[in-house]
Structure 1
Amino acid sequence: MTTSPGAQRRTAPRRPRTALVVGGGVAGLTAARDLARAGLRVTLVEASDHFGGAVGAHEVAGLVLDSGAESFATRSDAVPDLLEELGLSDRVVTPHPAGSWLQLPEGAVPAPKSGVLGIPADPTAPELRKPLGRAGVARARMDRALPARVGAGERSIGGLVRARMGQRVLDRLVTPFVSGVYSTHPDELDVDAVAPGLRARLRELGSLGAAAGALRTASPAGANVAGLDGGMNLLSERLVRDAERLGVKLVTRYDVIALDRDPRRPGWMVIQRQPVNGDKTAVARGELLVMATDGPTTVRLLGTQVSDVQNFTPRSGPRIALATLVLDCPALDSAPRGTGLLVSDDVREVRAKALTHATAKWKWVAREAGEHRHVVRLSYGRATPRGSGPSPEVTLEDKHLISLALGDASTLLGVPIEPEQLVGADVVRWHTALPRTDAGHSARVTGFRRALKDVPDAAAVGAWLSGTGLAAVVADTRHQVRTLLKHHGFDVTPN
């Protein structure tokens, strides 16, 4: 007997019509936008009073500057494609090619430009003689003679580099990079999380240097970067504007205390922590769910609904403080340290782990700042031993951290900077912006996503899952949303 078309329509499952996104950083905004473009009614809730997360803006001495991320890696088309969709392609700019420096105990030297994560692709390069010395270079060259199996089983960047190239390369080249970018020690950094494919290339090519060089050529993460004229904060601003155009309901100051299945209809519901301003507690709903918060929050909220995910709770990320200084300082016109410096942990006379000379790095910042005026940003939050708490600098009051930053900037840039040359300053603090990608992190992410596969109407996105950086976050978020939509019968194609 043939079933009538009408009966087929009545028995076919209805496609979801609504979606709920928890978290309003770039991952959450991108997810909400793509869900809305597929035709769903989307609600996005964000705990803070603004959207964009670590891709935001602040005003210092009349200048609107990036308060977090200032660039994106050009290793993939993920971010450029999104910028094109948002009408921002004409604002893409590249940094000054002068490059960065390393601050070592004996002084500042230009940073080697080959390899990845500070791992040199060519240990015979002349530029390595200053930071490594004769003995360090000789030990690094042994990498080419060692069997490929040496170090291949190491799970951390520190263990891998130490086994292949020695302690000097680790201390002088890799640790400043890792500490500056990830605020952790290489011995606590999961090699597969931050450099996917590095160990496989080592086994294939026979040396860590060759593997690092191959990764840089094929996927130059962090080496080839671009930004936006006006700042990366324009990406968050345009994502919000486009989400509003598509009808997304955007809600701030919505601190989710609980996640549950909606007992009255298919899908999910989140319950808001009691608002402090007297408003009634609100409930937000959606048939599809995308969690776009930090790792510990996502696992905590999903743990009551999804079996096993609580077994994969990541560690909380490091605390970081960014001190931005606007200086009236003609002596910096020559950009004495290129676009900035990464600082060795062995340097004791300064406490910053990195400095960016923004007016030397970005033409648009120099244009907006004006003649002889300079913007420098110092990053605090050096790696500390596990369980010892945050580095002491990040706990300082703003005025004391700004005073410390002035002294550090003068030492790092090699230019006397007096307090009266400070035109304006601001401190931005991040507690969950960077995921803690310690050894075993990749395995926890794999396990978490395997457990979440049993929940066909939910997805999770964010840097703790995709890896650090806008390129990784945007690519993974759009992939996860497409997968979620395809499972429910939506006709989607890669953007």
Structure 2
Amino acid sequence: MADFAVVGGGVAGLVVARRLAAAGAEVVLFEQTQRLGGPVARHDVAGIALDAGAESFAVRGGTVAVLLGELGLSGDIVAPRPGPAWLQPASGDAVPLPATALLGIPADPLAPDVVRVVGIAAAERAVELDALPLPEISADTRLGPFVRERLGDDVLDRLVAPVVHGVHSQHPDDLALTRAHPGLPDALAAAGSITGAVSRLRAAAPPGSAVAGIRGGMHRLVSSLADDARSRGVDVRLGVRVDDAGALPGTVVIAAPGIAAPAGPSRRIDLVTLVVEQGELDAAPRGSGLLVAHGAPVAARALTHATAKWEWLRDAAEGRHVVRLSYDTVPTDPVATARTDAETLLGVRLPVVVDAAHVTWHRPAAAAASDLVVVGETVAGSGLAGIIGHAERTAAALLAR
């Protein structure tokens, strides 16, 4: 009989199963689909192997880099090409995002690149508000109301909300402060202000980009994880739906949404990828891409200019360009809408769309408190760094029992 049964073959499930098996445990992993990895997936568009979901990871803490090293992928960790991301305001021209910020929260509201977005009156008001005593922070504190109280409506709506939506796929009013960034609560307690907390976190971060990727695509993580887990004896069973986790052998680890009771509804995300021919994009007019403020004249919530962001992908595209747009609500004609939105956001015409693809993902709600052992986005929040780190800690705790 297996020592552990892992339900769900996404990255968290694979990490837990691999770590348990590496310690000598007998592990069986159940995945109801015929594919491992969850939203870390591959699709081919115009003959180019691309990420259909996650395309980068946060470098903080080195968690993902350590795992990639164990999988023999250290040499394929790549940083994005240097250059700012941009913001498309509700009105007016796109502007570079402030250089010193965290989730759009500025370290200095009076910095010129912040004032350019929110205006001098809002910037001065933010300084006044953040000088007030810091309120008590709890697990129920939401990022949006907290930022609104500390920095004002304009900073929240014009800066923080577009960035948080791009990172977490939800409005900051719906995001717990403790899930927004793992170091933010402690930094707030130490600094006594939200701008001071951002300054501390930015100063403590390693030099260079806050994110990295894998040459060839993040989907390589899944194939390497799966191969390594199987080599350590994990019994991977695809196409098996688990309705009663209590009937499984051994200690059960839930790594799939829908089994542990959710605390709210899931969120749908539609991604449309375009492969285009347009020489004007060689200059990367909007850097690696844009985040979009509510009220802007497009349906997209964000755009990634992938061939401007990743050198390896620019080489693979052979003169073509790859752009990916994300949507909260699926357009009636996803490809046509994405093309029009991309033209608006990038400021160039896209007369030749070589190929396109549309995929839909569902971001699960946080799991309600329970006695189950749960890993994955429902408890660790979004982002591979948090998900992998939580899965590793969970495996260590199970082995220590």
Deviations along 1:167-215, whole A, 9 cap, x unmatched? 1100110010112222222111111121345344334323211112212
Give the whole-Å Cα distance in 2 for the aligned partners of 1:376 and 1:339.
10
Give the whole-Å Cα distance in 2 for the aligned partners of 1:168 and 1:401.
31
Match of 1:346 in 2: 295
Amino acid at match of 2:295: D
Match of 2:354 in 1: 423
Deviations along 1:232-269, whole A, 9 cap, x unmatched? 100001011112222222222212222224xxxxxxx2
Segments of structure 2 that go 5 or more residues without pairing to the other structure are: none
Give the whole-Å Cα distance in 1 for the aligned partners of 2:188 and 2:61.
22
Amino acid at match of 2:281: L
Q: Kindly state the Cα deviation for residue 159 of structure 1 after the two structures are TM-superposed.
A: 0.7
Give the whole-Å Cα distance in 2 for the aligned partners of 1:199 and 1:77.
20
Match of 2:316 in 1: 368
Amino acid at match of 1:378: L
Match of 1:22 in 2: 7
1:79 aligns with 2:64: yes
1:135 aligns with 2:121: yes
Give the whole-Å Cα distance in 2 for the aligned partners of 1:35 and 1:344.
43
Give the whole-Å Cα distance in 1 for the aligned partners of 2:365 and 2:114.
30
Amino acid at match of 2:357: D
Q: 2:365 aligns with which of 428, 433, 436?
A: 436
- Normalised by the size of structure 2, how large is the TM-score? 0.94
Amino acid at match of 1:244: R
Match of 2:149 in 1: 163
Task: Please tell me whether the aligned partners of residues 102 and 344 of structure 1 are also in contact (alpha carbons under 8 angstroms).
Answer: yes
Q: 1:378 aligns to what SS in structure 2?
A: strand
Q: Kindly state the Cα deviation for residue 20 of structure 1 after the two structures are TM-superposed.
A: 1.3
Match of 2:255 in 1: 292
Match of 2:398 in 1: 484
Task: Please tell me whether the aligned partners of residues 253 and 374 of structure 2 are also in contact (alpha carbons under 8 angstroms).
Answer: yes
Q: Kindly state the Cα deviation for residue 123 of structure 1 after the two structures are TM-superposed.
A: 1.2
Give the whole-Å Cα distance in 2 for the aligned partners of 1:170 and 1:436.
23
Q: Kindly state the Cα deviation for residue 223 of structure 1 after the two structures are TM-superposed.
A: 6.1
Give the whole-Å Cα distance in 2 for the aligned partners of 1:485 and 1:69.
29
- Normalised by the size of structure 1, how large is the TM-score? 0.77
Matches within 5 A, 1:83-94: 83-94=68-79
1:70 aligns with 2:55: yes
1:405 aligns with 2:368: no
Taking only the aligned residue pairs, the percentage that are identical comes to 44
Give the whole-Å Cα distance in 1 for the aligned partners of 2:178 and 2:231.
39
Task: Please tell me whether the aligned partners of residues 359 and 365 of structure 1 are also in contact (alpha carbons under 8 angstroms).
Answer: yes
What is the aligned-residue RMSD (CA, Å)?
A: 2.1
Amino acid at match of 1:413: L
Give the whole-Å Cα distance in 2 for the aligned partners of 1:254 and 1:205.
49
Higher relative contact order (CA 8 A, sep 6+): 2
Structure 1 residues 217 and 463, CA gap change in structure 2 (3 angstroms): farther
Match of 1:11 in 2: none
Structure 1 residues 242 and 199, CA gap change in structure 2 (3 angstroms): closer
Matches within 5 A, 1:245-324: 245-261=231-247, 269=248, 286-294=249-257, 297-300=258-261, 313-324=262-273
Amino acid at match of 2:252: L
Task: Please tell me whether the aligned partners of residues 143 and 208 of structure 1 are also in contact (alpha carbons under 8 angstroms).
Answer: no
1:460 aligns with 2:359: no
Segments of structure 1 that go 5 or more residues without pairing to the other structure are: 1-15, 262-268, 270-285, 301-312, 382-390, 453-458, 488-495
